Structure 1
Amino acid sequence: MKRPGIRYGLMASAAILSLAAIVSGVPARAGTTRNGVKINALSGTSSFTPIRPPAVPLVTRAPYNNVWLETPTGQAAHTWPTHWNGNVKAITGVAMIDNKPYLFLGAPNTAGLGTMTQSSLTTTATQSKFIFQAGGVSLTVDFFSPVEANDLKRLSMPLSDILTSAQSSDGITHTVSVYYDISGEWAHGTTTSLIDWLPKSINRNSDGSTTGGTLSAWEVTPTSPTVFEQTNDYPSWGTMLFATQASGTLTVQSGADVTVRAQFASFGTLMGTNDTNQPRAINNAYPVFAFANDFGRVGTATTVPFKLILGHVRDPAINFHGTAVSSLWRQYFSSQESMLAFAYNDSAGAVSRADTLDTKLSSAAKSAGNAHYAAITATVLRQAFASTELTGTTANPLLFLEEISSDDNVQTVDIMYPAMPAFLYMNPELVRYLMEPVIEYSESGYWPETFAPHDLGSTYPNATGHDDGGGENMPVEETANMLIMADAYMQHTTPANASAYALQHYRQFKQWADYLLAYPAPNATEFPYPNALDPQYQNQTDDFTGRIAHSANLALKGIEAVGAMSQISSYAGKPDQSTHYRTRAEQMIKIWGKLAQNSDSTHLLLQYREVANSQSPDTTTEPDSYWSLKYNGYPDKLLSLNLIPKKILAEEAAWYRTQEHPTGIQLDPRTLADNNVVHTFTKADWEIWTAASTNDATLAKDIYDEVYNYANTTQSGEPFSDYYDPNSTYVSGFRARPAMGGAFAPLTLTLKTGKGSGL
């Protein structure tokens, strides 16, 4: 799950550092530095609804369209937007109000700029809506990244919208125009790389519609693209697209950042020129690509939104075991320009659909949990989806996932597993598309092991596999994960799909289930229990704590996976096999309850107490007080396995209630060192899985409130980290990971089985 060398939480993060330290360390650009004006040197105080997010999602559609406002203040002015890893992807926003320029986004060092007051930020599942005030004008800026989970055409488009409107806030008419630029940093991950750019006119009917008008667009590319390579977690090939409607109120310009920004700040309009000094390095007079729109005289009526489309496109997208796989949008559009036209033409409808989704999701989350739980789901939906991209064909869609920040693996199974609830809830077919590359590779014959692989490649976007059987193997972990996810998909797709899917892959599923029921070695005295019931010394998803033997939580997952295989067998029309796996799961859960119990029956242990054997160290000295969150109880409810005795659920819930902090519950009692400081630790995704697994409604509510408190107060300034210290909200990396899709676990328990569609 994590890069070698950063185990035990030694991550490049410092949530308690000063704000200046958080934003330092990025190369200087012309006229400013990375931290530019101090983040807290702002006028006014913003309100936040329903949460002050750890970082604000701006352009979040895919692994390489994953740009955030990383500041603990939530203020957009005097902060550069960044890729999820903290590298600048500059967007500048300036409003000209009655001939006075005001900054509202970005950190340019342009003379004469005032600063708009950010009065509010509203975060929904698909939108980050800012309201800024200055000069008697209210400016609304909506960063919109749709999540149309049941429409693969729209879901496959790696494009986001920026929607800006203005109105008078003092009842007086004002002249207003707005300016946006993006930098060449959107085209490559290294600022010394050479880039080229081109202004383009695109007919809005190029998407096959009868829509009139023309788009004005900037296309920016690396001069020497290298396919399937990335630097600083960003692609070294592809095209940055930035577009809007051409009109009499629009002016455009490219050129050095200081020149173009000063032009607008001085005159409120652009020159209509294109800088021909290219190719040139991104950091050579930092070329920017700008649009300015004149709203004219603005009164109390809100203006029609000024719409911008922004994104990065690549084709091919993925190297899948030596085969170049295209982005799925290529199945629907003849070119990136026709996709751009479709996105612009569809924008109003997309916003309307998103508003409906946002409202529906908020209501459902409040019913499933509470208002704080709804705020968490609104904060993480875009984060989960932005780690994935649809590829392949309409006949065989493949949803590839990048293990963002904790590693760079492709299709990491123990990241797919915690992320799965978000995809299951939004559209269960997406779970199938997520699993498909792993199943396809496992069935290909290239993977030599009987257990499931950990991932499909060490570095995104190269899903080249591990044909030698290597990688960060987690035998019980990943095998159980795949079976549980497969069963979850089958229960929530249509019965016909479930039956066909079970039959199509039954041999593979059976191989995995039989691995879980196999014994670590033939010596029955040394190894009396199968792999599922008693995992030997091995890695598991919480590998920042190191390997573990006889893990009670991992064993629970293995047992549930055998129970899931019973249900998969039923879908495949194999009743005898179904009975066999169900019987084995029931036998193992009884033994598990005894092996995992501590001496005074107050809680289950972290590990069984066993003497050393040829595969595992001695664990008989584990303190009786050692425990862990048994978050793997969630699949028992999701799949209606009903294996875990109610008595054990009640015992665990009562224990967790004694371990609560205002911002969370520890994952287990151990501590880890980060930057030579000892911390306790927990995982926000697993906390919410624990809430979903319990029958204790008060405990579940407490957990929602505690995770909300952490997210709402952390000073990390990083996209929602699932890994933190519940005693201090110190964040130890794990920024922007799809694992936070696990926050949807309680919502999945409200889904109807056999429906075949999500929310």
Structure 2
Amino acid sequence: SSTFSPFNPPSIPLAVKSPYLNAWLPSGSNPDATPPNYVGNGGYLAGQYPAFWTSSYGADGDYRLGWTGYIRVDNTTYQWMGNGFGTIVRAGQNAKQTSLTYTSTRSIFSFDADGVKFNVTFMTPVWPNDYFRQSIPLSYMHFSLDRSSATNRSVQMYTDIDERWCTGHDYDYQNYPMNMQWVDNANGSSIYFVQRTNPQQYTEFRQRAEWGSATYAVRKRKGLSSRNNNNVVAQLEFLTQGSMTYDHNPVGGPDNSFSYAIDFDGKGGDEALFAIGFIRTPYVNYIKKVPSKNDTNHDGSPKSYLQDRFGYWMAKYPNFSDLVSFFMDDYENALDHCIKLDQQIDQDSQKAVGGGEIGAQYSAITQLSLRQSFATLEWTVPYNDTSKSYNTSDTIVFLKEISSNGDMQTVDVFTPQFPMLTYLNPEILRDIMRPIFEYTESGLYPNKWCVHDLGVYPSAFGHNDGKDEPMQVEESGNMILLALHYAQLVGEKVAKPWLSSHYKIMKQWAEFLIEDSLVPAAQLSTDDFAGTLANQTNLALKGIEGIAAIGHIANMIGKTDDAKNYANVSQTYIQAFYGYAINKNGSHVKLDYQDDNSWGTLYNLIFDRLLNLGLVAKEIYTKQDAFYPTKVQKYGTPLDSRYTWAKTDWQMWASGTADNTTTKEFWIEELYKYVTDRKEDAPFSDLYETLDGDFPREPSTPRVLFIARPVVGGHFIHLALDKANAANNVTEYQYG
């Protein structure tokens, strides 16, 4: 049996770089569920195909991705990836998987095939400070043969992908045909590009992009052969002779193998490098105000248009083959970078929570979260028709709210994601916030509060009618709080002009918070899956913190009168808040003012600590620390008194606000217990049932599936706190 380190996740990241390059290995299962869940096979690469992020949820139809791996040892073939044995070709043995180790950027599988040992590493580089490299929608697979175990053995390997990587319309070749371009030698790499014959720009089907090219590349070396053909023909040829006939004819039907084989018997070395990706152009479109002052609609409102946005990488490599070639050549550099980043996140995570066993648990959580969260982001630039070039000075990072509804640039989704971003590079947060500022400042959005999102991925069409999902206090508070956080991290000199340019709209939002945050009207919070609620305590706290934060911003940019006013209002409101929010026996803060028996996770308290506001009394921290463990279920304390589900990002935020070590560690231990029990088969879910550790479902809760979402970036809150405290020179927190 295989070992798993640091643990065996519910789903193991393989090639996870963008919303459309998002391949995982389902591991978890729950035979006791109704209906039983047998999707995951325990974390073994062989015996099942990888899955798109949807796993068996979120998109009707097949969610598997054809990705096969065989190794042939002394004329006997073993399977190390996929499920070709017994389905495409005759049944055979799987190579013995001996271990799986994951880090922040790599998933490393070790195998033994009749005594021949080899490793297969899936590496998705994360480049927080290199927008060009981070924007490249490709991922590596590296095969390494242990020569000491292969002496005097004849060894060949094979791998392929199929057409399921390029469309959601799988098994329907007649209506959705595809074509293939073969590049034999692009500066030392061979490349397949597979795409629909009739692509549909800006169209998704079953969460898949219906325009763009799936690509599978290999670094050329001695012993390499390749072929694309029907999957039975291609795979059977390898099983029979250990190599492929050079054959790259047009795609003639469904069930393809775009394959490579490598013979290790020659002098080509003991390694093979592959890249897999999904490359499309353009990426997204984005609503912009028509620049002419006279160009208005009949009602006087400004006109708008949709701007095409392209991958940042196109500024350097507009040719797909050149991009793939660069990526292949950059492998050694990328590997060195990934090893250093992996070590940094591991060490910083352990240190942030005091090391020891709890440090190891927290590090395992953050490492599993990194690729998932970064893969929801895309780095984009516009094309300048005048200069005939891509303008990297106009960079926007766009976010897809994967799984919950596919919204684009959802403010209350990049808000829980921010700890990962600001820990690694605060400029990413700035570039995610930018289109929200631009759109609301343009006059296109009619409401006095902040917009909820900009559309549905991949189209940021805006909400010029003002009928976006109403989270008035939530989003207005979020933007102000995040703006102050960014400013504190980069320093006043850098932040002042940026804050000044957006102060007018933030002041507008702050005035709305003064109207509606102390006693919030019935509305949604970010926990919209739980429904509308009036007088939400957690929402009121966010609004009051937002008012305090705009005071700090006003002070930074020299608006001293505004600063004094907002400070006075926030201090007045927080005192009134205590009277509304604390229950009658004084044991805890209520979920909503009107229900003395209610309770909830006061995760918005994190901004008081993160921003060093000194707003909230120590008594609130102490009460919550003592109260949370009294409501614990088998897999942790629920989000609030309405249901028994829990939110993992808010669990870590509650850990970040904990005043004592016991409560801080309590939250980490409960999250670790949930994710390591693997009742689910999908990428890291941020919403789960505390009674049994599975997805929320009737009768305990409504059926809600949150998988592969950006918000697991919130698990980095302890690292973000350390960075914020250093920027704010905080050694001991001052309470209100």
Q: Which amino acid aligns with 2:169?
A: T
2:570 maps to what in 1?
585
Match of 2:111 among 111, 129, 132: 132
Q: CA RMSD in A?
A: 1.7
Q: 1:653 to 1:752 in 2, by over 3 A?
A: closer
Match of 1:489 among 486, 489, 495: 486
Deviation at 1:662, TM superposition (A): 4.8
Deviation at 1:303, TM superposition (A): 5.8
> What SS does structure 2 have at the residue aligned with 1:344?
helix
2:46 maps to what in 1?
77
2:329 maps to what in 1?
345
Q: 1:304 to 1:579 in 2, by over 3 A?
A: farther
2:582 maps to what in 1?
597
1:731 maps to what in 2?
695
Distance 1:293 1:223 in 2: 30
Deviation at 1:112, TM superposition (A): 4.4
Q: Which amino acid aligns with 1:691?
A: S
Q: Determine if contact 1:174/1:297 at 8 Å carries over to the other structure.
A: no
Q: Which amino acid aligns with 1:196?
A: N
2:260 maps to what in 1?
291
Q: Determine if contact 2:658/2:664 at 8 Å carries over to the other structure.
A: yes
1:629 maps to what in 2?
601
- What's the CA shift string for 1:128-172, capped at 9, x where partnerless? 111111210112111100111011111111110001101157585
Match of 1:506 among 503, 506, 516: 503
Q: Does 1:91 align with 2:60?
A: no
Q: 1:654 to 1:752 in 2, by over 3 A?
A: closer
2:139 maps to what in 1?
160
1:308 maps to what in 2?
274
Deviation at 1:561, TM superposition (A): 1.1
Deviation at 1:382, TM superposition (A): 0.5
Distance 2:367 2:612 in 1: 27
Match of 1:230 among 192, 204, 209: 204
2:15 maps to what in 1?
59
2:367 maps to what in 1?
378
Q: Does 1:476 align with 2:473?
A: yes
Deviation at 1:364, TM superposition (A): 0.6
Match of 1:334 among 318, 325, 342: 318
Q: Does 1:247 align with 2:213?
A: no
Q: Determine if contact 1:510/1:565 at 8 Å carries over to the other structure.
A: yes
- The equivalences for 1:518-529 within 5 A come to 518=515
Q: 1:320 to 1:92 in 2, by over 3 A?
A: same
Distance 1:584 1:303 in 2: 70
> What SS does structure 2 have at the residue aligned with 1:199?
strand
Q: 1:224 to 1:557 in 2, by over 3 A?
A: same
Distance 1:304 1:445 in 2: 61
- What's the CA shift string for 1:209-238, capped at 9, x where partnerless? xxxxx2110011110011111111011111
- What's the CA shift string for 1:662-697, capped at 9, x where partnerless? 5221111223xxxxxxxx201011100110111121
Distance 2:555 2:667 in 1: 35
Distance 2:125 2:417 in 1: 18
1:9 maps to what in 2?
none
Q: Which amino acid aligns with 2:422?
A: L
1:608 maps to what in 2?
593
Q: Determine if contact 1:495/1:754 at 8 Å carries over to the other structure.
A: no
Query: Where do 5+ consecutive residues of structure 2 fail to align?
Result: 29-41, 56-62, 288-305, 354-358, 382-390, 697-704, 729-736
Distance 1:665 1:716 in 2: 19
> What SS does structure 2 have at the residue aligned with 1:326?
strand
1:439 maps to what in 2?
437
Q: Which amino acid aligns with 1:710?
A: Y
Q: Does 1:266 align with 2:250?
A: no
Q: Does 1:364 align with 2:348?
A: yes
Query: Where do 5+ consecutive residues of structure 1 fail to align?
Result: 1-44, 205-213, 519-530, 610-621, 672-679
Identity rate, percent: 33
2:386 maps to what in 1?
none
Range with greater deviation from structure 2 (266-275 or 381-390): 266-275
Match of 2:680 among 674, 695, 716: 716
> What SS does structure 2 have at the residue aligned with 1:445?
coil
> What SS does structure 2 have at the residue aligned with 1:749?
helix
Distance 1:121 1:630 in 2: 37
Distance 1:336 1:639 in 2: 44
2:285 maps to what in 1?
319
Q: 1:56 to 1:303 in 2, by over 3 A?
A: farther
- Counting matched residue pairs gives 661
Q: Determine if contact 1:184/1:287 at 8 Å carries over to the other structure.
A: yes
Q: Which amino acid aligns with 1:61?
A: K
> What SS does structure 2 have at the residue aligned with 1:242?
strand
Q: Determine if contact 1:295/1:303 at 8 Å carries over to the other structure.
A: yes
Q: Determine if contact 1:165/1:303 at 8 Å carries over to the other structure.
A: no
**TM-score, structure 2 as length reference:** 0.88
Q: Determine if contact 1:168/1:174 at 8 Å carries over to the other structure.
A: no
Deviation at 1:201, TM superposition (A): 2.9
Structure number with the bigger relative contact order (C-alpha 8 A, sep ≥ 6) is 1
> What SS does structure 1 have at the residue aligned with 2:146?
strand
Match of 1:186 among 165, 169, 173: 165
1:465 maps to what in 2?
462
Deviation at 1:246, TM superposition (A): 2.1
Deviation at 1:374, TM superposition (A): 0.4
Distance 1:752 1:656 in 2: 25
Q: Does 1:104 align with 2:60?
A: no
2:295 maps to what in 1?
none
Q: Does 1:567 align with 2:546?
A: no
- What's the CA shift string for 1:342-400, capped at 9, x where partnerless? 11111011011110110111011001121100000000000100011100142121111
Distance 1:125 1:598 in 2: 42
Distance 1:355 1:755 in 2: 27
Deviation at 1:114, TM superposition (A): 1.3
Deviation at 1:742, TM superposition (A): 0.4
Deviation at 1:575, TM superposition (A): 2.0
Question: 4+ runs of 1 displaced by more than 4 Å?
Answer: 168-172, 752-756
